[in-house]
Chains A and B, each alone.
Chain A
Amino acid sequence: MTTKPELLTSAASLEEMKRLIEAGANAFVIGEARYGLRLAGEFNISMIAEAVKLAHPRGVRIYAALNNLMDNETVEMLPSYISSLKDAGVDALVFGDPAVLMAARSAAPEMALHWNAEMTSTNYQTANYWGRRGAVRFVLARELNMDQVLEVKEQTSLEVQVQVHGLTNIYHSKRPLVQSYLEHQDDTDNQPEETGANEQKRAVYREDERYLIETERPDERFPIYEDFNGTHIMSSDDLCMLENLHELMEAGIDSFKIEGLLKSTSYNEAVIHAYRSAIDAYCTAPEQYEFQEQWLDSIKELQNPARELSYGFFYKEQVY
């Protein structure tokens, strides 16, 4: 019997959270756009408190997303926000800006901290650096390959979190790029459309709602959306490490993240269920573990045909 890795995911709402707990998720990252980046839904502080009440009796952990790049205005609000997160009973703060570390040291010194800078969390010495400054978990960049992931795990005593499923962010700008593009069109159009320049920024909820296509890659659709934090472009494929999950489990990776952003609850449910099955099967009897094709089939049934399931960068060589 091995220690079970955590199965961590996002939630768009308390309702989705309930269903994903049922499906087998045992940790969630939630929060609000002012403090957190690319969240599946908005959870204000009272909803976070409710989420904790829902989660804790079921042995489920709640992590608060504070992984935004903070501006001066937000920095002023961090100490009180962190205090209220502590009062709400969250289990950890997820951060990527040292300002959060500074605020947490005074507002909640005993609170667990997870370092998550997404694309820039790339080596074990950096993991250990943030570990010495109080982080207990290191969230790995999705652009690493399997050897690099395993080496980080070997070389750090921090918990290691790896995304195993879903889309990933590939570009984040503070600029409202879609809105600017529409304004540019209005400027050059003879007959501007009704909606356009003054259209309110609106949330995008699905991966196929708005997307980019690059001329030489007509089959790849890159979801794009704008929110409080600017413009986000997402991968055209969905990472899926289900078939190879045992490689990560053998290495003792502590937490597997399923990204549920821009996906339907039923899709997320199927994905969580499939990974739950694989984790449980492996942990019950690692020696006898065998991947079951039906786990993957249950995901494929609901997979958007325009989006490939891929291994991301796990088995790729990149140059520079």
Chain B
Amino acid sequence: MSIQTKPRSIGKRHRLAKPELLAPAGNLEKLKFAVHYGADAVYIGGQKYGLRSNADNFSFAEMKEGVEFAKQYGAKVFVATNIYAHNEDIAGLEQYLRALEEAGIAAIIAADPIIIETAQRVAPKLEVHLSTQQSTLNWQAVKFWKEEGLPRVVLARETSIEDIAQIKANVDIEIEAFIHGAMCSSFSGRCVLSNHFTDRDSNRGGCSQSCRWKYDIFEEDMPMFSSEEDKFTMGSKDLCMLEYIPDLIDVGVDSFKIEGRMKSLHYVATVVNAYRQAIDSYMADPEHYELKQEWLDDIHKAANRPLNTGFFYDTPGAEDHIYEPEEKQAPYDFAGVVLSYDAESGLAVVQQRNHFKPGHEVEFFGPHGTFFKQIVNEIADEAGNPLDAARHPLQHIVIKTEQPVKPMDMMRKRVRP
């Protein structure tokens, strides 16, 4: 599993095209930060037809605001309409899709042919991207969807680099691949554990993550484990392809997708920031590209699950699942967002997002080069009253920073070694 395994010989060697970095946005604030931190496109959920019925999800007004914000950065907004619909879900679909088109949404991500076909008919300005829920693994299926008028296919997470090379060699179509985040351990859409365990329909957004539960496994009525051993589970480690960006760009993946509409603002900004830097750095000078350890370290500051490379190089084995009882906690907590900075005084106003106080080790980071650690000195409220701690959510805190910072930079604090 090394960079040397890349199949450079497969397909025609072509000039490298810069891929799109596609980030999740669970709400309007996350959208703004994802775009500001470097996402070329974000995908969101609306009030209906999406697979995260527990997420915040966007109203049409919020979508419009998100689209306007993204436009200033030249970024696009996609909406996940990736359920497998039941008969009763069909009513209202046309109006919904027209409203997305009207809100300026660039594309929907859909799996059910009824949603695909309806969008093509009633909202022709919406691009339709085939969702990973269709579990597309081969070039013939990709060709089918191209002939159906789709400009882009999100491949199954079970495809390898080599599979992608073959697909790109056979079909001229945009290919989107998940490169980071949590994964279904099943083929997407081919799991109804939630339906059976909790009467929640997984393919309409009700997934209760039963694959991450622990199970006892028996053979011929005899346990296949002893009492002190880890239990059986289907739960997978999370995907992280940060170390293999050149392989993905070389093979021609058009859109790099980060999973996580339910993930925190800090997580989304951190992950986007790392991938943005890696992609830009490789595109600027492919021959002399080197992975920076700090990008990888950053990912671990926000991630709480162990990471792996999914199916890109090999079928996952024992080392790719999480049998251990506890997930490791990330060493940093999100602590604040920079609202403004005064260069003369060196004072920043930070919106509090978590408790912090003088003496804490914090780290500032942002999309335009901000990246430094410091110990929190004296802090005050905006009226200048000194504070012994920043305890109130969203309170504006004045803090002296050791280097210049910019609005929308973030501050995280170290909470464990």
* Chain A residues engaging chain B, CB cutoff 8 angstroms: 69-72, 74-75, 78, 97-99, 101-103, 118-120, 122-126, 129-130, 141, 143-144, 148, 151-152, 155, 169-185, 187-189, 208-215, 217, 221, 224, 231, 233, 235-236, 313, 316-320
Contact = CB atoms under 8 A, between A and B. Distances in A.
Given A210-B217, A215-B213, 13 more contacts: A75-B139, A99-B144, A118-B190, A141-B84, A143-B201, A174-B311, A180-B317, A181-B232, A184-B323, A189-B229, A224-B217, A318-B201, A319-B201
B195 interface: yes
Given A120-B203, A175-B315, A210-B219, A148 B86 contact: yes
Contacts of B117: 125, 129
Contacts, number: 215
Interface stretch (B25-33, B108-116, B289-297, B388-396): B108-116
Contact of A72 (B139, B185, B190): B139
Interface in B202-231: 202-206, 210-211, 213-221, 224-225, 229-230
A48 B139 CA distance: 28
Interface in B168-201: 185-187, 189-193, 195-197, 199-201
A319 B318 contact: no
B163 interface: yes
B106 interface: no
B340 interface: no
A70 B137 contact: yes
Contacts of B218: 210-213, 221
A99 B139 CA distance: 8
B192 A316 contact: no
Contacts of A319: 199-201, 206
Nearest to A120: B84
B217 A72 contact: no
Question: Size band of the B side of the interface?
Answer: 35 or more
Given A151-B87, A217-B197, A171 B163 contact: no
A126 B193 contact: no
B316 interface: yes
B216 A213 contact: yes
A236 B85 CA distance: 26
Contact of A187 (B196, B202, B318): B318
B167 interface: yes
Interface string B317-354: 11011010000000000000000000000000000000
B376 interface: no
Given A119-B189, A129-B117, A319-B200, A209 B232 contact: no
B270 interface: no
Given A130-B113, A181-B232, A185-B229, A123 B85 contact: yes
Given A181-B232, A214-B197, A214-B215, A144 B145 contact: no
